[in-house]
Amino acid sequence: MKKDIGIGVIGLGMGRNMIKINSRSDSRLEVRAICDTDEAKLKQAASELGIKHITADYKDLLDRNDIHIIGIYSPDHLHAEQATAALRAGKHCICTKPMVTTIKDCEEIVKLADETGLKFLVGQTCRFVPRFVATKKLAEDGDLGEIILAEAHYVHDMRPVFDRTPWRYEAPQDFLYGGACHPIDLLRWFLGDVDEVFVYANCSGLDPRYPPDMEDNFLINLRFKNHKIGRILAIYGIVEPPLPMLSLGVYGKKGTAVDDRVIFDKIEGKPEWKMSFRPEGSHENEVIRYMLHFEECIVHDKKPLIDARDGAKIIATAAACWESIRTGKPAKVRNEF
Protein backbone atom coordinates (compact mmCIF):
# COMPACT_ATOMS: atom_id res chain seq x y z
CA MET A 1 0.00 0.00 0.00
CA LYS A 2 1.35 3.43 -0.96
CA LYS A 3 2.49 5.56 1.98
CA ASP A 4 0.87 8.82 0.91
CA ILE A 5 -0.45 10.33 4.17
CA GLY A 6 2.40 12.03 6.00
CA ILE A 7 2.61 12.56 9.77
CA GLY A 8 4.68 14.94 11.86
CA VAL A 9 5.08 14.00 15.52
CA ILE A 10 5.56 16.50 18.34
CA GLY A 11 7.03 14.86 21.45
CA LEU A 12 8.96 11.58 21.62
CA GLY A 13 7.50 10.17 24.83
CA MET A 14 4.23 8.47 23.85
CA GLY A 15 4.70 10.02 20.42
CA ARG A 16 7.44 7.52 19.66
CA ASN A 17 4.74 4.85 19.40
CA MET A 18 3.36 6.53 16.28
CA ILE A 19 6.51 5.72 14.32
CA LYS A 20 5.68 2.01 14.41
CA ILE A 21 3.02 2.70 11.75
CA ASN A 22 5.80 3.03 9.17
CA SER A 23 6.29 -0.75 9.17
CA ARG A 24 2.60 -1.50 8.55
CA SER A 25 1.98 -2.58 4.97
CA ASP A 26 -1.79 -2.24 5.47
CA SER A 27 -1.65 1.51 6.18
CA ARG A 28 -1.14 4.61 4.05
CA LEU A 29 0.20 6.50 7.08
CA GLU A 30 3.89 7.39 7.37
CA VAL A 31 5.73 9.39 10.02
CA ARG A 32 7.99 11.71 8.04
CA ALA A 33 9.21 14.18 10.64
CA ILE A 34 9.66 14.32 14.41
CA CYS A 35 10.02 17.19 16.87
CA ASP A 36 11.35 17.22 20.42
CA THR A 37 13.18 19.70 22.61
CA ASP A 38 15.59 16.97 23.77
CA GLU A 39 18.23 17.01 21.03
CA ALA A 40 19.88 13.76 22.10
CA LYS A 41 16.57 11.89 22.17
CA LEU A 42 15.65 13.38 18.82
CA LYS A 43 18.85 12.30 17.08
CA GLN A 44 18.75 8.82 18.61
CA ALA A 45 15.16 8.25 17.50
CA ALA A 46 15.92 9.50 13.99
CA SER A 47 18.90 7.17 13.71
CA GLU A 48 17.14 4.11 15.15
CA LEU A 49 13.88 4.54 13.29
CA GLY A 50 15.03 6.04 10.00
CA ILE A 51 13.30 9.43 10.22
CA LYS A 52 15.02 11.93 7.94
CA HIS A 53 13.55 15.23 9.13
CA ILE A 54 14.06 16.28 12.76
CA THR A 55 13.49 19.63 14.45
CA ALA A 56 13.24 21.24 17.88
CA ASP A 57 10.57 23.70 16.65
CA TYR A 58 7.12 22.21 16.03
CA LYS A 59 6.26 25.05 13.64
CA ASP A 60 8.68 23.53 11.13
CA LEU A 61 6.27 20.59 10.80
CA LEU A 62 3.38 22.91 9.95
CA ASP A 63 5.25 24.35 6.95
CA ARG A 64 5.83 20.99 5.26
CA ASN A 65 3.53 20.09 2.35
CA ASP A 66 4.31 16.38 2.77
CA ILE A 67 2.78 16.36 6.27
CA HIS A 68 -0.99 16.01 6.48
CA ILE A 69 -1.43 14.99 10.13
CA ILE A 70 0.16 16.43 13.27
CA GLY A 71 0.52 14.08 16.24
CA ILE A 72 0.70 16.06 19.51
CA TYR A 73 2.41 14.27 22.43
CA SER A 74 3.88 17.22 24.28
CA PRO A 75 3.18 18.17 27.93
CA ASP A 76 -0.49 18.90 28.62
CA HIS A 77 -0.18 22.67 28.90
CA LEU A 78 1.26 22.92 25.35
CA HIS A 79 -1.57 21.06 23.59
CA ALA A 80 -3.81 24.08 23.04
CA GLU A 81 -1.20 26.22 21.29
CA GLN A 82 0.05 23.37 19.11
CA ALA A 83 -3.39 22.01 18.19
CA THR A 84 -4.79 25.39 17.20
CA ALA A 85 -1.65 26.15 15.18
CA ALA A 86 -1.93 22.80 13.38
CA LEU A 87 -5.59 23.32 12.50
CA ARG A 88 -4.90 26.85 11.25
CA ALA A 89 -2.12 25.42 9.09
CA GLY A 90 -4.59 23.01 7.48
CA LYS A 91 -3.42 19.85 9.23
CA HIS A 92 -5.53 17.05 10.66
CA CYS A 93 -4.71 16.39 14.33
CA ILE A 94 -4.21 13.50 16.68
CA CYS A 95 -3.76 14.92 20.17
CA THR A 96 -2.96 12.71 23.13
CA LYS A 97 -5.12 13.12 26.21
CA PRO A 98 -6.03 15.55 27.65
CA MET A 99 -7.06 17.57 24.61
CA VAL A 100 -6.43 20.82 26.53
CA THR A 101 -6.80 22.03 30.12
CA THR A 102 -9.28 24.93 29.92
CA ILE A 103 -12.84 25.41 28.68
CA LYS A 104 -11.74 28.43 26.63
CA ASP A 105 -9.23 26.31 24.72
CA CYS A 106 -11.93 23.68 24.14
CA GLU A 107 -14.14 26.31 22.54
CA GLU A 108 -11.37 27.43 20.21
CA ILE A 109 -10.45 23.94 19.03
CA VAL A 110 -14.07 22.89 18.45
CA LYS A 111 -14.64 26.11 16.51
CA LEU A 112 -11.56 25.57 14.34
CA ALA A 113 -12.37 21.91 13.68
CA ASP A 114 -15.90 22.89 12.61
CA GLU A 115 -14.76 25.78 10.42
CA THR A 116 -11.95 23.91 8.66
CA GLY A 117 -13.63 20.51 8.36
CA LEU A 118 -10.33 18.94 9.41
CA LYS A 119 -10.34 15.69 11.37
CA PHE A 120 -9.42 15.81 15.06
CA LEU A 121 -8.90 12.76 17.28
CA VAL A 122 -8.19 12.81 21.01
CA GLY A 123 -5.89 9.87 21.77
CA GLN A 124 -7.93 8.33 24.58
CA THR A 125 -6.18 4.96 24.50
CA CYS A 126 -8.71 3.23 26.78
CA ARG A 127 -11.22 3.05 23.91
CA PHE A 128 -8.72 0.87 22.05
CA VAL A 129 -7.87 -1.55 24.89
CA PRO A 130 -9.12 -5.01 23.81
CA ARG A 131 -10.93 -5.87 27.06
CA PHE A 132 -12.73 -2.52 27.12
CA VAL A 133 -13.65 -2.80 23.43
CA ALA A 134 -15.03 -6.29 24.09
CA THR A 135 -17.11 -5.03 27.01
CA LYS A 136 -18.49 -2.25 24.80
CA LYS A 137 -19.48 -4.85 22.20
CA LEU A 138 -21.25 -6.95 24.84
CA ALA A 139 -23.13 -3.86 26.05
CA GLU A 140 -24.11 -2.72 22.53
CA ASP A 141 -25.32 -6.19 21.58
CA GLY A 142 -27.54 -6.35 24.67
CA ASP A 143 -25.68 -9.25 26.28
CA LEU A 144 -25.42 -7.34 29.57
CA GLY A 145 -29.00 -6.05 29.38
CA GLU A 146 -29.91 -2.53 30.37
CA ILE A 147 -26.89 -0.92 32.03
CA ILE A 148 -27.66 0.09 35.61
CA LEU A 149 -24.37 1.75 36.54
CA ALA A 150 -20.67 1.69 35.74
CA GLU A 151 -17.40 2.41 37.50
CA ALA A 152 -13.82 2.93 36.46
CA HIS A 153 -10.51 3.56 38.12
CA TYR A 154 -7.09 4.84 37.20
CA VAL A 155 -4.67 4.28 40.07
CA HIS A 156 -1.02 5.14 39.58
CA ASP A 157 1.99 5.82 41.79
CA MET A 158 3.36 8.90 40.02
CA ARG A 159 6.80 8.98 41.69
CA PRO A 160 8.63 6.92 39.01
CA VAL A 161 6.73 8.84 36.33
CA PHE A 162 8.02 12.12 37.80
CA ASP A 163 11.56 10.72 37.48
CA ARG A 164 11.07 10.24 33.73
CA THR A 165 9.01 13.35 33.00
CA PRO A 166 9.90 16.24 35.35
CA TRP A 167 7.44 18.59 33.63
CA ARG A 168 4.65 16.85 35.54
CA TYR A 169 5.78 18.47 38.80
CA GLU A 170 7.43 21.53 37.28
CA ALA A 171 4.38 22.72 35.27
CA PRO A 172 2.74 21.10 37.33
CA GLN A 173 0.37 18.60 35.72
CA ASP A 174 -3.27 18.79 36.79
CA PHE A 175 -4.26 15.19 37.52
CA LEU A 176 -7.98 15.72 36.96
CA TYR A 177 -7.35 16.82 33.37
CA GLY A 178 -4.26 14.69 32.70
CA GLY A 179 -5.23 11.56 34.65
CA ALA A 180 -8.93 11.31 35.47
CA CYS A 181 -9.70 12.03 31.81
CA HIS A 182 -9.11 8.31 31.13
CA PRO A 183 -11.88 6.93 33.39
CA ILE A 184 -14.14 9.92 32.65
CA ASP A 185 -13.97 9.10 28.95
CA LEU A 186 -14.53 5.39 29.60
CA LEU A 187 -17.76 6.03 31.51
CA ARG A 188 -18.95 8.61 28.95
CA TRP A 189 -18.38 5.96 26.25
CA PHE A 190 -20.83 3.62 27.99
CA LEU A 191 -23.30 6.02 29.60
CA GLY A 192 -23.24 9.20 27.50
CA ASP A 193 -23.04 12.83 28.56
CA VAL A 194 -22.46 13.61 32.23
CA ASP A 195 -25.07 15.83 33.88
CA GLU A 196 -23.59 16.36 37.35
CA VAL A 197 -20.59 15.41 39.48
CA PHE A 198 -19.78 15.42 43.18
CA VAL A 199 -16.14 15.03 44.15
CA TYR A 200 -13.95 14.60 47.21
CA ALA A 201 -10.20 15.15 46.89
CA ASN A 202 -7.07 15.38 49.01
CA CYS A 203 -3.40 16.29 48.76
CA SER A 204 -1.25 13.25 49.54
CA GLY A 205 2.12 14.94 50.03
CA LEU A 206 3.64 11.58 49.08
CA ASP A 207 6.19 13.12 46.70
CA PRO A 208 7.70 16.44 47.84
CA ARG A 209 8.32 17.45 44.24
CA TYR A 210 4.59 17.85 43.57
CA PRO A 211 3.04 21.05 45.00
CA PRO A 212 1.74 20.23 48.50
CA ASP A 213 -1.37 22.37 48.01
CA MET A 214 -2.50 20.57 44.80
CA GLU A 215 -4.91 17.67 45.10
CA ASP A 216 -3.70 14.41 43.58
CA ASN A 217 -6.35 11.92 44.78
CA PHE A 218 -9.99 12.06 43.68
CA LEU A 219 -13.23 10.20 44.41
CA ILE A 220 -15.74 11.18 41.70
CA ASN A 221 -19.47 10.43 41.68
CA LEU A 222 -21.30 11.04 38.41
CA ARG A 223 -24.91 11.31 37.33
CA PHE A 224 -25.50 11.11 33.59
CA LYS A 225 -28.08 12.82 31.40
CA ASN A 226 -29.95 9.50 31.09
CA HIS A 227 -30.10 9.26 34.92
CA LYS A 228 -27.57 6.41 35.09
CA ILE A 229 -24.92 6.71 37.78
CA GLY A 230 -21.21 6.00 37.98
CA ARG A 231 -18.15 6.41 40.13
CA ILE A 232 -14.46 6.94 39.49
CA LEU A 233 -11.39 6.29 41.62
CA ALA A 234 -8.63 8.54 40.26
CA ILE A 235 -5.69 8.41 42.66
CA TYR A 236 -2.08 9.34 41.91
CA GLY A 237 -0.50 10.23 45.26
CA ILE A 238 -0.31 6.62 46.41
CA VAL A 239 2.05 3.71 46.89
CA GLU A 240 1.40 1.49 43.85
CA PRO A 241 -1.47 -0.84 44.84
CA PRO A 242 -1.90 -4.52 43.85
CA LEU A 243 -4.62 -3.57 41.35
CA PRO A 244 -4.81 -3.11 37.59
CA MET A 245 -3.75 0.45 36.79
CA LEU A 246 -6.89 0.89 34.67
CA SER A 247 -10.13 -0.89 35.43
CA LEU A 248 -13.72 -0.84 34.18
CA GLY A 249 -16.86 -2.35 35.69
CA VAL A 250 -20.19 -2.36 33.83
CA TYR A 251 -23.29 -3.62 35.65
CA GLY A 252 -26.34 -4.61 33.61
CA LYS A 253 -29.63 -6.40 34.21
CA LYS A 254 -28.44 -9.49 32.33
CA GLY A 255 -24.79 -9.58 33.32
CA THR A 256 -21.77 -7.87 34.80
CA ALA A 257 -18.38 -7.26 33.19
CA VAL A 258 -15.33 -6.24 35.18
CA ASP A 259 -12.20 -5.84 33.06
CA ASP A 260 -11.66 -9.24 31.39
CA ARG A 261 -14.19 -11.16 33.54
CA VAL A 262 -17.88 -11.55 32.75
CA ILE A 263 -20.83 -13.22 34.51
CA PHE A 264 -24.15 -13.75 32.71
CA ASP A 265 -27.26 -14.01 34.87
CA LYS A 266 -28.90 -16.57 32.54
CA ILE A 267 -26.27 -19.23 33.21
CA GLU A 268 -27.07 -21.34 36.27
CA GLY A 269 -24.45 -21.06 38.96
CA LYS A 270 -23.17 -17.86 37.32
CA PRO A 271 -19.76 -19.20 36.23
CA GLU A 272 -17.10 -16.60 35.48
CA TRP A 273 -16.15 -16.19 31.84
CA LYS A 274 -12.62 -14.85 31.35
CA MET A 275 -11.61 -13.13 28.14
CA SER A 276 -8.08 -13.38 26.80
CA PHE A 277 -6.60 -11.56 23.82
CA ARG A 278 -3.70 -12.07 21.45
CA PRO A 279 -1.70 -10.00 21.24
CA GLU A 280 -2.06 -8.54 24.69
CA GLY A 281 -2.78 -4.83 24.92
CA SER A 282 -0.03 -2.24 25.22
CA HIS A 283 0.20 1.53 24.79
CA GLU A 284 2.02 0.95 21.51
CA ASN A 285 -0.76 -1.29 20.16
CA GLU A 286 -3.46 1.10 21.36
CA VAL A 287 -1.80 4.02 19.57
CA ILE A 288 -1.51 2.03 16.35
CA ARG A 289 -5.20 1.05 16.61
CA TYR A 290 -6.38 4.62 16.91
CA MET A 291 -4.05 5.71 14.11
CA LEU A 292 -5.64 3.12 11.81
CA HIS A 293 -9.07 4.33 12.92
CA PHE A 294 -8.05 7.92 12.15
CA GLU A 295 -6.76 6.91 8.73
CA GLU A 296 -10.18 5.38 7.96
CA CYS A 297 -11.88 8.59 9.11
CA ILE A 298 -9.74 10.69 6.75
CA VAL A 299 -9.99 8.37 3.75
CA HIS A 300 -13.74 7.75 4.09
CA ASP A 301 -14.74 11.09 5.67
CA LYS A 302 -16.00 9.60 8.94
CA LYS A 303 -16.33 11.14 12.39
CA PRO A 304 -13.48 10.12 14.71
CA LEU A 305 -14.52 8.08 17.74
CA ILE A 306 -13.32 10.83 20.11
CA ASP A 307 -13.43 14.10 18.16
CA ALA A 308 -12.83 17.67 19.35
CA ARG A 309 -16.37 18.00 20.73
CA ASP A 310 -16.01 14.75 22.71
CA GLY A 311 -12.64 15.95 23.96
CA ALA A 312 -14.25 19.20 25.10
CA LYS A 313 -16.91 17.32 27.06
CA ILE A 314 -14.23 15.35 28.90
CA ILE A 315 -12.48 18.60 29.86
CA ALA A 316 -15.81 20.16 30.88
CA THR A 317 -16.44 17.20 33.18
CA ALA A 318 -13.03 17.68 34.79
CA ALA A 319 -13.72 21.42 35.19
CA ALA A 320 -17.01 20.59 36.96
CA CYS A 321 -15.07 18.24 39.24
CA TRP A 322 -12.87 21.16 40.30
CA GLU A 323 -15.96 23.28 40.92
CA SER A 324 -17.39 20.56 43.15
CA ILE A 325 -14.13 20.22 45.08
CA ARG A 326 -13.91 23.98 45.69
CA THR A 327 -17.59 24.47 46.64
CA GLY A 328 -18.24 21.18 48.41
CA LYS A 329 -21.42 20.81 46.35
CA PRO A 330 -22.55 18.93 43.22
CA ALA A 331 -21.61 20.74 40.01
CA LYS A 332 -23.33 20.70 36.62
CA VAL A 333 -21.34 19.72 33.55
CA ARG A 334 -21.36 21.76 30.37
CA ASN A 335 -22.11 19.64 27.27
CA GLU A 336 -22.80 22.25 24.58
CA PHE A 337 -19.85 23.23 22.40
Q: Domains in the chain, start-ordered, CATH in brackets?
A: 5-125+285-307 (3.40.50.720), 127-278+314-332 (3.30.360.10)
State the amino acid at position 111 in one-letter form.
K
Pairing between strand 217-224 and 229-235?
antiparallel
Closest C-alpha among 123, 7, 18, 120 to residue 69: 7
pLDDT tens for the chain, 337 residues: list them.
899 999 999 999 999 999 999 999 999 999 999 999 998 889 888 888 889 899 999 999 999 999 999 999 999 999 999 999 999 999 999 999 999 999 999 999 999 999 999 999 999 999 999 999 999 999 999 999 999 999 999 999 999 999 999 999 999 999 999 999 999 999 999 999 999 999 999 999 999 999 999 999 999 999 999 999 999 999 999 999 999 999 999 999 999 999 999 999 999 998 999 998 876 667 889 999 999 999 999 999 999 999 999 999 999 999 999 999 999 999 999 999 9
Which residues neighbour 217 within 8 Å (Cβ) at sequence distance 6 or greater?
A: 201, 202, 203, 204, 234, 235, 236, 237, 238
Predicted pLDDT at 181: 98
What is the C-alpha separation between 284 and 281, in angstroms, rounded? 8
pTM (two decimals) = 0.96
Predicted pLDDT at 290: 97
Q: Is 27 helix (H, G, I), strand (E, B) or coil?
A: coil
